[in-house]
Amino acid sequence: MALKATIFRATLAVADMDRPYYGTHVLTLARHPSETDERMMVRMLAFALHADPALAFGRGLAADDEPDLWLRDPTGTIDVWIDVGLPDERLLRKAAGRARAVVVYAYGGRASELWWDKHQDSLRRLPNLAVRAVAQHTVQELGRLVQRSMQLQCTIQDGHIWLSDTAATVQVELIEVHASGDFRRSRS
């Protein structure tokens, strides 16, 4: 019998003074059986960084042809395609042809460095790709915030990012690995 996804609920309040964007989102996250708490929280972080009423979670690990998150306009055109982890290079090339901007939040410490070293020559040619690495200590701290029902706040100011619940605050460290095209207009 196949294992089912575990359902998590989160209320995420975002105060992004850099954009400016202020909003509260009530989210339901389905964590695939093979997904870790840390990966799920990096997805939550990506949602906070790109928060928008139209931003939606894709089918994630259950679908190769969908991103972890995406922002589509009312006509269905993909404005922003967001992947978490170390996605396949072919998928990113395909996504770059379908979306205005493609953003990857890579994590995994040395593994993410090796992934970038292996694929950077072809990925640098994509005119609308941005790659950001989430520092390993940040990923571990985000994993400690996981509860089945979460009340989270994300504050973004002057390029600094904090994600917190009622008991702990995580200062997020993102490393800009690669940015091209007009990524800055879509989220920075």
Contact 45, 65 (CB under 8 A): no
pLDDT at 86 over 70: yes
Does the residue 8 lie in any domain? no
Does the residue 61 lie in any domain? yes
Query: What are the residues whose beta carbons fall under 8 Å from the beta carbon of 144, sequence distance 6 or more?
Result: 168
pLDDT at 79 over 50: yes
Query: What is the reported pLDDT for 185?
Result: 36
Domain holding 180, by residue range, is: 36-151+172-186
Give the amino acid at 160.
H
Does the residue 179 lie in any domain? yes
Rounded Cα distance, 20 and 16, in Å: 5
Least confident of 60-74, 75-89, 93-107: 60-74
DSSP per position, 82-103: EEESS--HHHHHHHHHHEEEEE
pTM to 2 decimal places: 0.92
* Burial label, 25 (beta-carbon count in 10 A; 0-12, 13-18, 19+): middle
Residue holding tokens 């917190």? Answer: 164
Average model confidence (pLDDT) for the chain?
Answer: 92
pLDDT at 183 over 70: no
Q: Which two tokens stand for residue 6?
A: 């575990």
Percentage, residues of the chain above pLDDT 70: 92
Does the residue 69 lie in any domain? yes
Does the residue 2 lie in any domain? no
Q: How many CB atoms lie within 10 A of CB 156?
A: 23
When pLDDT is averaged across residues 141-155 and rounded to a whole number, the result is 98
**How many domains is the chain built from?**
1
Does the residue 111 lie in any domain? yes
